[in-house]
Structure 1
Amino acid sequence: MPKASKMRNGGGPASPYAKNNTKKPATANNMSNAIFKMNTDLGQHVLKNPGVASAIVEKAGLKQSDIVLEVGPGSGNLTVKILEKAKKCIAVELDPRMAAEVTKRVQGTPMAKKLDVVLGDVMKTELPYFDVCISNTPYQISSPLTFKLLATSPSPRICVLMFQREFAMRLFAKAGDKLYSRLSVNAQMWAKIDHIMKVGKNNFKPPPQVESSVIRMVPKNPRPNISYDEWDGLLRVCFVRKNKTLRANFLGTTSVISMLESNYRTWCAQNSVTLEDGPSTETNTDALMEIDNVPATTADNDEWNGFGSDNESVGGMPVAAMDLDMDDMDEDDLPAFFKEHRDHIEQQKQQHPKTQARKKRSKVNDLVREKIRIVLEDKTTLADKRARMCDEGDFLKLLWSFNQEGIHFV
């Protein structure tokens, strides 16, 4: 008689050549991925590791009375963990398919009453009150979302956010670090930022092309008593070329001088300060100045290519596009005055290609230059310091000293 086929303890066939017809049990995660394809253009990389999701929620220190804002819930792996500990979760989702998926996931459970799904773009949505923000953030909105959260009033108690690792490292970089930038100074002025953990790309489905990190951001309460626009305007000038000295950034670029001169004239008019205007009385060769003719030193690592360079962009308070390869200003982050000035110079060069654009200095221009020199050399002694080596205290000292001289950045 033929022998009966033996089965292993696990229930599979004994022969290694036998076909295994066992199927994986259907779960909410693999069913959702089978229904539709993830749109990576919208940053849809679902966090599939439940251990990482639990750790993120744990670091937020949620209370049973907390209302949590989640940006981009995806299929709801992180949402479910939030609902287990919070009073309510407001999930803002751009993709209607995902919004339906996360709603269906808790349908018929006690969690359904605690979930409020808002369909739309979080950057264009007026956010309701929330205590905590937890987000596996779509990377293309990292910067604008960060500053929108910092601008929210009243401020959230804590934000636990997943970002691309390089962006996260820029957020908490300190003076002197390679990744220290205007983003670092801006974010750390308004919040205390800590790195929580690294998250590998294999923890997502589909895996992104970059590694990720989770940061904890605690907005300062009360907020610093300074104008954000004024503060950011100063940083824009300082970090135009972060490896050049502050003297070069302020006095070596005529676009900056022109902007500050215009602002100074406005301030004088508003405060009834009389200005003596007219052509400059200086007789040296500096009376005629070449537009944006800034000498470069071989010691500097990042060469400045003008205000239109696409190396750095940092989100403003409320929004600006974030380019992760950043050491200088991005086109989207460029102040309107600089754009107009640059376009005007380019037009002049096209009309007169063999003639360098020049303009005469005025007495007010000389006065503004002298005020800048006094601030940099006499009042703060920061003229020879580079922006990448300045800390928050240095920038605050600069802003206060410039304001004392009637020079503003808005």
Structure 2
Amino acid sequence: MKSRIASATVLAAALFLAGCGETLEDIAPKAERQLPAHIVQTMKAKGMSKGSPIMMRIFKEEGVLEVWKQKHNGRYEKVTSYDICKWSGKLGPKYTEGDRQAPEGFYRVGPAQMNPKSSYHLAFNIGFPNNYDRANGRSGQHLMVHGACSSAGCYSMTDKQVEEIYAFARDAFRGGQQAFQVQAFPFRMTAENMARYEGDPNYDYWKMLKEGYDHFEITRQPPKVDVCERRYVFNRVPAEGAVFSPTEMCPPSRQPESLVTAYQSYQKEFAVAFAEAKKKRSKPERKPSILGQKEAVLVADWSKRRARGERVSAEPPSLAPVAVAAAAPPQSTPVTAFRAETASDPAVGAQQTAGTSQTTVSDARSQVGAPQVQAEALPVPTPNPSRFGGSAESAAEPAASRLSRIWNLFGN
């Protein structure tokens, strides 16, 4: 009898320590599950070890999280990808606490950000806000990749998916990696997609992210990321004694000569593809995007009132105009709103573009007051211009799936 009481006491204590709603399994075992045999075989075939470094890429519009792993030659190759179960908000960056936006940008995840006892099965904090976010006055906390397929600003996966994603990170840390990079984008930054979203209020921000995206496409290595003048800069080495400060002028810096040459060639190829994409009469419909700080504040206020139990609209407020059709088809919904090519309020554009970076090395040299970029001879792989047009992986999803994904944008 005493033995049964003691066991029950231990069980109750374990459940208490695990947190509200947790079970004994939430204490750790699921965080130790191994990768499936077919993924292990894929890694071996690609020249990767179990503990080699990783990085991840997220694409909102396509709803995909990719896991990349370093090969024996130092370059990264994609191991696998997962359909994101749910993410909330719209295309565009996160501005403020409560705006329900899943972040976009370049983030670092270290061992301390891993949570094996998450109430959402397993989770890791992506590291928002980073130096760029803080320099631009953006706020928010606890932005995760987690399980449970429920999101209010996070990237949510199924429990089975997050177990595998967690295992990739766990093994890389045990292999010696200090932190892995998470690159979160609105969409695959192909010429077609950039042409499609030209004129969007977030376009200048996306062009800044694209420089880092392009560097990875060229080198197949995660770019070195710094922040100065409230903007991202990539693969730059400051002059001796100089440092990058998020809110200060960018110091004199240099890039590998081979990267400068490869990037310029890549941009020329991209410009041709971009011009051709703009000529196309028929383009896929744009997905909704956030209209800057003003809309973020509106949504944050809506979130607070909703949390207090006040009566609010079923969907978060938006500054986007809504198309009113004379005879709407039976299946039309409020989600079929269209977005203006540019924000109607100049203040929105000013908020959005604060901290825009240069998109090419040659542009950077021509900017008044910009630091001089010097070349440093280092080897770098040649670019692969075939990626400009996308691939089978980025093909348009079926209409029913697209509609389902649109409905899921706002989380619970």
TM over 0.5: no
TM-score range, shorter chain: under 0.3
TM-score of the pair, normalised by structure 1: 0.25
Kindly indicate which of the two structures has a greater share of residues assigned to helix.
Answer: 1
TM-score of the pair, normalised by structure 2: 0.25
Q: Relative contact order, CA 8 A, sep 6+: which one is greater? A: 2
